[in-house]
């Protein structure tokens, strides 16, 4: 051992300039590595896992297990390098989770699942969805929305159509889970007596509205060396448009939705409340990530949400927690 140490010391003394250069390179590499190294409070050391969720509203757990969960498990059995394939089935919901080996990356695992899930024989109208790549410790940021001038429905709409899309564009954000608020909904309350007297059913009203709410493409009319595109605009925009939908035509007299039903603007029934500091909230959201450094992504989120937090008094604002 002493001979070995003497050899190292002798080589270093004879090649001091080489050792000095190598020491400088090592120091520079250490500084660069220290600055670029991601720092995690709770590093995600779990295996790569893919979760497939399928909804079948109104069906019992036995029916969902038989016609949804088992076919998906059979279709995903050929997945390579998997450790386990587990499933949970409850009323109207099927959840299948695949856990892979340590050396399998998320894109590879996700590609295998997406290629095979189409082989599952499922009931008509049932479409399984693969969940975003998030881990058990992926929650990195929470924020709430509040306003003194906007009602909960407006804030929920702002969250779903503006804030959510803006935050999903930030690199590293895998998923956003929203809670609370009121989701806007157009409610049509039919009059059973009027429908019965006219020989109609609620299904007729539903079908008429469904067929009307669509744009139809036409052709092109060429006139004076100019081309004009022809199309039919039928998308419903407000309550007035819904009320003017024609349900049937009796001897040239149109029967409108407003004649047999009442249209109102309401919200989807709420199943609970979200609270912060003993106060009820309009919306609370949490963002999840997996691959990117949590601190780096959180910094991008704080920078983006600063515009919402510095909104003028009396308008909407967001608060992080």
Q: Under CATH, domain 49-130 is a member of which superfamily? A: Multidrug efflux transporter AcrB pore domain (3.30.70.1430)
125-151 burial, b if ≥16 CB within 10 A, otherwise e? ebebeeebbbbebbbbbebbbbbeebe
- CA dist 299 and 301 (Å) reads 5
- CA dist 34 and 91 (Å) reads 50
Question: What element of type H or E holds 64?
Answer: helix 61-64
Task: Check: CB of residue 290 under 8 Å from CB of residue 134.
Answer: yes
312 φ, ψ to 5°? -65, 160
Could you tell me which residues come within 8 angstroms of residue 247 by beta carbon, excluding any fewer than 6 positions away?
Answer: 200, 204, 205, 208, 255, 256, 257, 259, 260
Please provide the CATH number assigned to the domain covering 185-267.
3.30.2090.10
How does DSSP classify residue 164?
H
Global pTM? 0.64
Q: Is-same-fold flag (139-183+269-320; 185-267)?
A: no
Tens-digit pLDDT string for the chain (321 aa): 788 888 888 888 888 888 889 999 999 999 998 887 766 666 667 788 899 999 988 889 999 999 999 999 999 999 998 999 999 999 989 999 999 998 888 888 999 999 999 888 888 888 898 888 776 667 777 778 877 888 888 888 888 888 888 888 887 777 888 877 888 889 999 999 888 888 889 999 999 998 888 888 778 888 888 888 888 888 888 899 899 999 888 888 899 999 999 999 888 887 767 777 655 555 555 555 555 555 556 666 665 655 555 444 445 555 555
Question: What element of type H or E holds 228?
Answer: strand 226-232
Q: How many CB atoms lie within 10 A of CB 164?
A: 14
Query: 139-183+269-320 sits in which CATH class?
Result: alpha beta
Q: Where are the domains of the chain?
A: 49-130, 139-183+269-320, 185-267
């Amino acid at each position: 051992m002493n001979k070995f140490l003497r050899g190292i010391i002798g080589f270093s003394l004879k090649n001091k300039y080489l050792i000095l250069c190598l020491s400088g390179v090592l120091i520079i590499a250490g500084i660069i590595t220290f600055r670029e190294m991601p720092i995690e409070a709770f590093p995600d050391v779990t295996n790569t896992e893919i979760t497939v969720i399928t909804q079948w509203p109104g069906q019992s757990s036995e029916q969902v297990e038989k016609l949804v969960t088992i076919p998906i498990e059979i279709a995903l059995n050929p997945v390579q390098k998997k450790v386990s394939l587990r499933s949970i089935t409850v009323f109207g919901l099927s959840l299948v989770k695949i856990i892979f080996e340590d050396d399998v990356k998320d894109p590879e695992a996700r590609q295998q699942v997406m290629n095979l899930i189409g082989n599952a024989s499922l009931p008509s109208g049932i479409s399984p969805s693969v969940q975003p790549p998030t881990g058990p410790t992926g929650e990195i940021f929470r924020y709430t929305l509040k306003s003194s001038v906007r009602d909960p429905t407006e804030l929920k709409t702002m969250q779903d159509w503006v804030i959510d899309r803006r935050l999903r564009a930030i690199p590293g954000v895998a998923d956003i889970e929203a809670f609370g608020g009121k989701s806007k909904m157009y409610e049509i309350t039919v009059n059973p007596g009027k429908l019965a007297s006219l020989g109609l059913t609620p299904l007729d009203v539903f079908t008429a509205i469904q067929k009307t709410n669509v744009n139809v493409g036409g052709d092109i009319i060429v006139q004076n060396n100019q081309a004009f595109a022809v199309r039919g605009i039928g998308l419903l925009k407000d309550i007035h448009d819904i009320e003017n939908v024609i349900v049937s035509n009796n001897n040239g007299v149109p029967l409108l939705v407003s004649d047999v039903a009442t249209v109102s603007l309401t919200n989807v029934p709420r199943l609970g409340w979200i609270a912060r500091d003993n106060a009820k909230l309009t919306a609370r959201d949490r963002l999840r990530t997996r691959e990117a450094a949590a601190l780096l992504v959180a910094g991008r989120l704080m920078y983006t949400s600063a515009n919402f937090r510095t909104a003028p008094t009396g308008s909407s604002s967001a608060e992080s927690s």
